[in-house]
Structures are given as structure tokens and as C-alpha cells.
Structure 1
Amino acid sequence: MVVGSGAPQRGSAAAAASMRRRKPSGASGGGASGGAAGSMLQFYTDDAPGLKISPNVVLVMSIGFIAFVAVLHVMGKLYFVK
């Protein structure tokens, strides 16, 4: 144990009392991870600012970009062949 850490020793009455005073993790309403879930959920609400794109649109755009880069590579190979 570090001297002067300010925390009561593990197993002491003071440590047991501080454990009883703690709120349970589900009391905040944020789920199992506490505050992190509350801040993460704001990205998925209708009130969140920004562009609203469905996952299918993101998937199609990603595949289209990959195909476009592949076509550019093939065109570059064919164009520079002498």
C-alpha cells in the first residue's frame, strides 16, 4: 500500500462504508457502462446534428469508392504501357 494515498485500507470498516455509499452502476440510467453510453446514444437520436445516412448507403458508397480506385489503377496501368 502506498503511504499517504488517502484511501482507506482494503478490508477496513472505512472501506466497507465507502462501498455502501456508492451508487450502483445501473442507477445513472446509462446502462452497464455508465456515462459513456449516454454520450454515445446521442449520435443515434433524431435530434443529433449532421447528415443522416442509412448504413446501406454507406456500404454502397464504400464499395463504389473501392471499385472507382480499382478502375483508376487499371487505367493507369494500361495508359502508361508503351
Structure 2
Amino acid sequence: MATGTAPPRGSAAAAANMRRRRTTSGAGASGGAAGTMLQFYTDDAPGLKISPNVVLVMSIGFIAFVAILHVMGKLYFVRKE
């Protein structure tokens, strides 16, 4: 076994290694990535504060704008020929 490799599965050393990793991960009981995702929804998070409704309206507006540009491009191409 080379240095820096994990102990064999099922051994007492592997079980101790897993216990150590779980307690020192820093995630706590929040579930890892879920704990960091919740930081985006706190009041003290840095950045622009936009409600989900505004994001929804802006995204639908952008999709409609792109669709209108496509239609105008098709009509312009037909008139040119």
C-alpha cells in the first residue's frame, strides 16, 4: 500500500476514516451543499436582491423578445426576396 491511499474497504481503519471525514466536513447537519445554497436567501447575503417573481417576468420577457426578433427576421428576409 502506497502512502496517501485509502485503507482497504471493510477494515477498521476505513471505518475510522469515514467517521473522521463526516465530523470534520464543516457541513454540519445542514446537508453539505444545501447549507451553502441557503446563504443566497438570507438578508445578509451580498448582491442584488430580486424576488423570484421579477426573475420569472424578466425571463419570460426575454424569451418573448427573442421570439419577436425571430419573427421580424423571417419577415424581413421574405420581403427582401
Shorter-chain TM-score: what band? 0.5 to 0.7
Q: How does 1:1-82 map to 2 (within 5 A)?
A: 3-5=1-3, 7-9=6-8, 10-12=10-12, 15=13, 18=16, 22=20, 29-33=28-32, 36-80=33-77, 81-82=79-80
Q: Percent identity among equivalent residues?
A: 71
Query: How does the TM-score come out when normalised to structure 1?
Result: 0.62
Q: Following TM superposition, by how much is the alpha carbon of 1:4 offset from its aligned partner in structure 2, in angstroms? A: 2.8
Counterpart of 1:73, as a letter, is H
* Stretches (4+) displaced over 6 A: none
Q: Name whichever structure is richer in helix by fraction.
A: 2
Number of residue-to-residue matches in the alignment: 75
Question: Does the C-alpha gap of structure 1 residues 16 and 58 become closer, same or farther in structure 2, counting only changes over 3 Å?
Answer: closer
Q: Which runs of 5+ in 1 are unaligned?
A: none
Query: How does the TM-score come out when normalised to structure 2?
Result: 0.63
SS at match of 1:48: coil
Asked if the contact 1:30/1:37 (under 8 Å) is kept, the reply is no
Q: Which runs of 5+ in 2 are unaligned?
A: none
> What is the RMSD of the two structures over their aligned residues, measured on CA atoms?
3.1
